[in-house]
Amino acid sequence: MELAGPDYLADLLISAAAVQWREDGYRIYVTDALSAIAGQLGVSTKQRYADIIHPKPEDTRKPEEIAASIITGAGLIYKGSEE
C-alpha cells in the first residue's frame, strides 16, 4: 500500500468524517441532556445545538403549494382554491 495512494486518502477521509460524526453526536447528546435538566429547573432553551450546527433548510413555498403537496402526496386530488 502506498502511503499517499488513493486508497489511503479515501480511508483517511472516511476516518476523519467518522470522528467528526461521533463528536457531533456526543455534543448534541450532551447539550440535549443539559437542556432537559435546565427545563426541569424552569429555564427554557430557545434553540437546540443540533439546529445551530445543522440548520434545516427554509421552506419558501406558499401555503397553497405546501397544502397541494401534502394532499397529492396522500393520493387525493387537489383542486386548489375554488372561488
Domains in the chain: boundaries: 6-73
The vertex-26 CA angle with 21 and 29, nearest 5°, equals 125
pLDDT confidence of residue 82: 54
Q: Could you tell me if 28 and 49 are in contact, meaning their C-beta atoms sit under 8 angstroms apart?
A: yes
pLDDT confidence of residue 5: 85
The per-residue pLDDT string of the chain (83 residues; one tens digit each, 9 = 90 and over) reads 567 788 888 999 999 999 999 999 999 999 999 999 999 999 998 999 999 999 999 989 999 888 888 998 898 887 765 54
Over the stretch 25-36, which tens digit does the pLDDT of each residue have? 999 999 999 999
pLDDT confidence of residue 83: 46
